[in-house]
């Protein structure tokens, strides 16, 4: 099996290099409106945003930032196939502007944008992020009225374009069975609150680049890719950043396309892709080992499982898991126009 990963530099509002209705899944995390680390990237695209921020007009700046994101979601609609899924990781913002502290509800604004385009909203996921902050108090400390709740979660919004995807041919059904997940994984992955996915540190060299990147964890992207696509599907990240989604897609045997407006992040993402094969194989082997350990414990506790994996021989809980296959990466090469070619 051969898959590809392609990374391009440019604004996500115009993804001219991606054909209409060619994408099966979007996994992305945009810049968060009204979070200060992203003020500059928004203001560079629309000068009015910087003006409103300097005047302390938070709601006006918030609206303009989301207008930029609206154009991206519209372009995502164009490139998505009918039945395709979009997963958007977003956090709400809290900020004091002109002496007034308030919440800027990014998740509800993005939800409104997708619904306005006719997408179906599917059950979302709350990602509970662990924090090491020694002091979680905001506002007036121990005194009432002026104290505020501390946010320690983000949203993963899930949308579908059109009706549910169908698998009709024998080849499509076989590929879907190979793309299955384990029973015990499903119980965790399809929970509405994720407590076990930790945030990630940015192992980037220079401080300016580090300040403009906020990559979500590999595990988060990998789960979503496995949950909402099958092998050889096309996965798009219009805010590719350091390339986490592309690396997750590569590991899962999917094709991927990334678009990133910040040219300083493109080589970082390319380097990540080049170094992914060994890590991908180690990750998938560890996933198989975790299941084998779980199956042994389950068998010891409750007796033998009914089914066995055709490829690995270990027990599995359901018949749907019998054909699950995690492809090893056997080769990787640079292609033309930012393309990475992967042999699996």
The domain that holds 110 is classified in CATH as: 3.40.50.150
- 256: its two tokens: 């991927």
Instruction: Specify if 166 maps to a domain.
Output: yes
Range of the domain at 278: 2-133+148-294+323-343
Instruction: Specify if 122 maps to a domain.
Output: yes
Instruction: Specify if 75 maps to a domain.
Output: yes
- 150: its two tokens: 């501390």
247 burial (CB, 10 Å; 0-12 / 13-18 / 19+) is buried
Instruction: Specify if 304 maps to a domain.
Output: no
The Cα angle at residue 19 between residues 237 and 258, in degrees rounded to 5: 20
Instruction: Specify if 200 maps to a domain.
Output: yes
Instruction: Specify if 120 maps to a domain.
Output: yes
Instruction: Specify if 310 maps to a domain.
Output: no
Distance CA 336, CA 227 (A): 30
- 213: its two tokens: 């990147």
Instruction: Specify if 301 maps to a domain.
Output: no
The H or E element spanning position 28 is strand 23-28
pLDDT in tens, the chain (344 residues): 999 999 999 999 999 999 999 999 999 999 999 999 999 999 999 999 999 999 999 999 999 999 999 999 999 999 999 999 999 999 999 999 999 999 999 999 999 999 999 999 999 999 998 765 656 667 777 888 888 888 889 999 999 999 999 999 999 999 999 999 999 999 999 999 999 998 654 343 334 444 455 679 999 999 999 999 999 999 999 999 999 999 999 999 999 999 999 999 999 999 999 999 999 999 999 999 999 999 999 999 999 999 999 999 999 999 999 999 999 999 999 888 778 899 99
Number of domains in the chain: 1
Are 75 and 15 contacting, i.e. CB atoms less than 8 angstroms apart?
A: yes
């Amino acid at each position: 099996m051969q898959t590809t990963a392609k990374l391009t530099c440019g604004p996500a509002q115009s993804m001219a290099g991606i054909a209409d209705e060619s994408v099966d899944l979007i996994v992305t995390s945009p810049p968060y409106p009204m979070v200060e680390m992203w003020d500059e990237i928004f203001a560079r695209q629309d000068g009015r945003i910087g003006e409103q921020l300097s005047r302390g007009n938070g709601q006006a700046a918030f609206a303009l930032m989301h207008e930029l994101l609206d154009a991206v979601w519209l372009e995502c609609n164009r490139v998505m196939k009918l039945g395709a899924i979009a997963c958007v990781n977003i956090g709400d913002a809290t900020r004091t502007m002109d002496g007034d502290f308030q919440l800027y509800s990014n998740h509800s604004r993005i939800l409104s944008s997708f619904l306005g385009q006719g997408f179906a909203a599917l059950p979302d996921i709350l990602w509970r992020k662990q924090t090491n902050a020694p002091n979680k108090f905001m506002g007036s400390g121990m005194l009432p009225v002026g104290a505020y709740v501390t946010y320690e979660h983000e949203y993963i919004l899930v949308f579908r374009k059109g009706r549910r995807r169908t698998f009709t041919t024998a080849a499509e059904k076989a590929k879907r069975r190979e793309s299955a997940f384990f029973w015990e994984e499903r119980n965790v992955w399809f929970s509405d609150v994720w407590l076990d996915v930790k945030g990630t540190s940015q192992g980037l060299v220079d401080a300016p680049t580090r300040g403009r990147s906020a990559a979500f964890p590999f595990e988060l992207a990998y789960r979503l890719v496995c949950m909402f696509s099958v092998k050889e599907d096309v996965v798009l990240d219009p805010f590719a950043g350091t390339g986490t989604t592309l690396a997750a897609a590569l590991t899962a045997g999917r094709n991927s396309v990334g678009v990133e407006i910040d040219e300083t992040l493109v080589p970082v993402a390319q380097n990540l892709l080049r170094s992914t094969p060994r890590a991908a194989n180690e990750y998938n082997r560890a996933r198989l080992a975790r299941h084998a350990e779980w199956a042994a414990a389950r068998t010891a506790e409750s007796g033998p499982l009914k089914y066995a994996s055709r490829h690995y021989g270990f027990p599995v809980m359901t018949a749907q898991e019998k054909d699950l296959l995690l492809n090893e990466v056997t080769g990787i090469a640079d292609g033309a126009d930012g393309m990475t070619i992967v042999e699996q």
